[in-house]
A and B are shown apart, each in its own frame.
Chain A
Amino acid sequence: MRPIREELRDPVNRADLDEVYHRLEGSLQAGTSSRSWLLPITAATAVAAIALVVWAVWPAPDPGSVQIVATGAPLEHVEGAAEPVRLSDGSSLELERGTRLSAVENGEARVSLLMSPGRSTFDIEPNGPRAWTIDAGPFAVDVLGTRFTVERADHRGRVSVDRGRVRVRGEIVPGGFVFLGAGEHIELTFGDEERAPDEHTSPAPATATEEPGAPEAPSTPEASEPRPRPAAPEAESWEALAARGAYGPAYSAVEADFDAELERAESVEQLFALADTARLSGHPARARGPLERITLEHPNDRRAGVAAFTLGKIEMAIPGRAAEAERWLSRSLELGLSPSLADAARRRLTAL
């Protein structure tokens, strides 16, 4: 027996849910349980409008944010300069000319920065309360207290660690992530899949090596004990491999028939499975097909926005495709995203 709801239109839309989410976050931050349904809607709207005006004209800095010592302003946007940028928590940033950093998040528990192509050295105060993330497009660096340098060029990236330990992650990092200790670095290549289609069968495009003369890295299972990739059972389908997160073997299994599988796939789930298999095995360019089909053939599905957002991220990682990235990020906002993803999309658009 088919449920009646299948014959009906959806009673709530994305905008309704976003509005509830914002009210919810406000209530949680105020720390009080809401009984808003007892209040007239007009009163709630008036209060929200007043709060918005007050917030807009009187933006008090977040007391938990990191600030630039020289200006006292919260860390929001920094451009390369001759002098290091010193921060209120004792950390400092050295940016080469032309390099830009934009804060996606700057709070008491987390600082997330988007980094443009260029070179930056980060000296993060050890044992600080915040988790730092540097998003360099095709790869990101998660860090606690440490000193490290990130370089991002057209088709390559490099992360080297002077002190402490970081995690480098991203679709182009084989296995999804790698830990680096003091004296270690990793070199990554990306964005040339269109020019070099054979790369899909090439060895991993990343290497991590020890700096000559550098102090010995701490011995940790993640950093120093390479583990073999588990061999995929022959009988296992690419879907089964992908479903359990073995994207590398899944891609190997589907690679030859990728286009045929793409043609056969109809549902959003099948298309996302193909996209994830390509993207998370280090072949983001091949994820374009299934993701584009989701946005074109399933625009009313709530995941269509996520597909467009992912396309935007993929294009952002490829030099010279900023216009495509902007188009997909804008499209993701039109299709609808969760509040947190929408915020991330807007930040990325600003950073482009």
Chain B
Amino acid sequence: MHPAPRKLDQEPLSDEDLVGRAADGDRWARGVLYDRHASALAGTVARTLGHHDTALDLVHDAFLYAFEHLGDLRDPSRFRGWLFQIALSRTRTWLRRQRIRRAIGFVSSIEDSTLEMLSGPDASPEARAELRAIDRALRRLSVDERLAWALRRVEGCSMGEVASHCGWSLSTAKRRYNSADRRMTAILARGGAER
């Protein structure tokens, strides 16, 4: 007897395969999906929120929801986009609540992962000042504009990815990003001062 030349276990499993196994309760598959996507997701959420611990909580909740509702995912190959959509939906909700808290003078947490704070130790004072101005300007945008601009300019997403991650149509994503970019340009031109 000769062995078959086929290979089963040697190619990385696709998200589609892993989602199928995870939906059947395979803990290993869940771990691989987590390992594959958690870092990028947590980075995006943390930079968008500016809150390290809150970002980790939202990532936890997003994965928990995703793993508990894998059966709802019609196209398993889109797991990553779906996961980002879940997390960014929660991010949007949290930012809106934070805005209300701030408006009534009840700010429950201090930002600890702003763009300025995340600048490397070698960043020049000018670069830090620029990042600080962007942080301040982002706070003045609407939540949707902030998401659109952060995903596009901070994360480097394509407009299609912005639309997919936020659950918007492409035209809505473009409209919100263009509006955000105009406002950011104007705010930064004025020195990025807070109101």
Residues of A within 8 A of B (CB): 1-12, 16-17, 19-21, 23-25, 27-28, 33-37, 41, 109, 169, 173-180, 184, 186, 204, 206, 208-210, 217, 221-230, 245, 247-248, 276, 280, 302, 338-340
**Assuming the A-B contacts A5-B47, A12-B56, are A339 and B31 also in contact, with contact meaning beta carbons closer than 8 angstroms in the complex?**
yes
Which listed residue (A6, A24, A208, A230) contacts B63, Cβ 8 A?
A24
B7 contacts A177, CB within 8 Å? yes
Contacting residues, chain B, for A339 (C-beta < 8 A):
31, 35
**Assuming the A-B contacts A3-B154, A17-B38, A178-B3, are A12 and B43 also in contact, with contact meaning beta carbons closer than 8 angstroms in the complex?**
yes
CA–CA, A159 to B38, complex, Å? 40
CA–CA, A168 to B36, complex, Å? 28
Which listed residue (A5, A27, A178, A302) contacts B4, Cβ 8 A?
A178
Which listed residue (A4, A8, A9, A11) contacts B55, Cβ 8 A?
A11
Near A by CB (< 8 A), chain B positions 1-55 give: 1-11, 25, 27-28, 30-32, 34-35, 38-39, 42-43, 46-47, 52-55
Q: 30 A-B contacts, Cβ less than 8 Å apart?
A: A5-B154, A12-B56, A16-B42, A16-B56, A17-B38, A17-B42, A20-B42, A20-B56, A21-B31, A21-B38, A24-B64, A28-B68, A33-B68, A175-B5, A175-B7, A176-B6, A177-B4, A178-B3, A178-B4, A204-B3, A206-B3, A208-B2, A221-B4, A223-B1, A226-B3, A227-B4, A227-B5, A245-B11, A247-B7, A340-B32
Is there a chain A Cβ closer than 8 Å to B60's Cβ? yes
Is there a chain A Cβ closer than 8 Å to B71's Cβ? no
B10 contacts A247, CB within 8 Å? yes
CA–CA, A179 to B4, complex, Å? 8
Contacting residues, chain B, for A3 (C-beta < 8 A):
153-156
- Taking chain B's interface residues, is the majority helix, strand, or loop, or is none over half, making it mixed? helix
A4 contacts B34, CB within 8 Å? no
CB distance from B150 to the nearest CB of A (A): 9
Which listed residue (B2, B43, B60, B118) contacts A24, Cβ 8 A?
B60
- Extra A-B contacts (11), CB below 8 Å, given A4-B131, A10-B43, A37-B54: A4-B115, A5-B156, A7-B123, A11-B52, A24-B64, A34-B64, A41-B53, A174-B5, A177-B4, A221-B4, A230-B5
B1 contacts A208, CB within 8 Å? yes
CA–CA, A6 to B123, complex, Å? 12
Is there a chain A Cβ closer than 8 Å to B137's Cβ? no
Contacting residues, chain B, for A176 (C-beta < 8 A):
6-10
Which listed residue (B2, B5, B57, B59) contacts A248, Cβ 8 A?
B5
CA–CA, A9 to B43, complex, Å? 10
Contacting residues, chain A, for B155 (C-beta < 8 A):
3, 5
**Assuming the A-B contacts A176-B6, A340-B31, are A9 and B120 also in contact, with contact meaning beta carbons closer than 8 angstroms in the complex?**
yes
Contacting residues, chain B, for A35 (C-beta < 8 A):
61
Contacting residues, chain A, for B68 (C-beta < 8 A):
28, 33
B153 contacts A227, CB within 8 Å? no
CA–CA, A204 to B52, complex, Å? 53
A226 contacts B2, CB within 8 Å? yes
- Count chain A CB atoms within 10 A of each CB in B2, B46, B58, B134 and give the residue with the most: B2
The contact string, 1 if C-beta is below 8 Å from chain A, for chain B 142-178, is 0000000000011110000000000000000000000
Contacting residues, chain A, for B8 (C-beta < 8 A):
169, 176-177
Q: Chain A: which residue is nearest B57 at the CB level?
A: A37
B47 contacts A173, CB within 8 Å? no
Contacting residues, chain B, for A34 (C-beta < 8 A):
60-61, 64
Is there a chain A Cβ closer than 8 Å to B179's Cβ? no
Contacting residues, chain A, for B77 (C-beta < 8 A):
none
CB distance from A235 to the nearest CB of B (A): 21
CB distance from B34 to the nearest CB of A (A): 6
Is there a chain A Cβ closer than 8 Å to B185's Cβ? no
**Assuming the A-B contacts A17-B38, A25-B27, A210-B1, are A8 and B47 also in contact, with contact meaning beta carbons closer than 8 angstroms in the complex?**
yes
- Count chain B CB atoms within 10 A of each CB in A20, A27, A176, A302 and give the residue with the most: A20
Near A by CB (< 8 A), chain B positions 121-153 give: 123, 127, 131, 134, 153
A12 contacts B55, CB within 8 Å? yes
- Count chain B CB atoms within 10 A of each CB in A5, A6, A225, A230 and give the residue with the most: A5
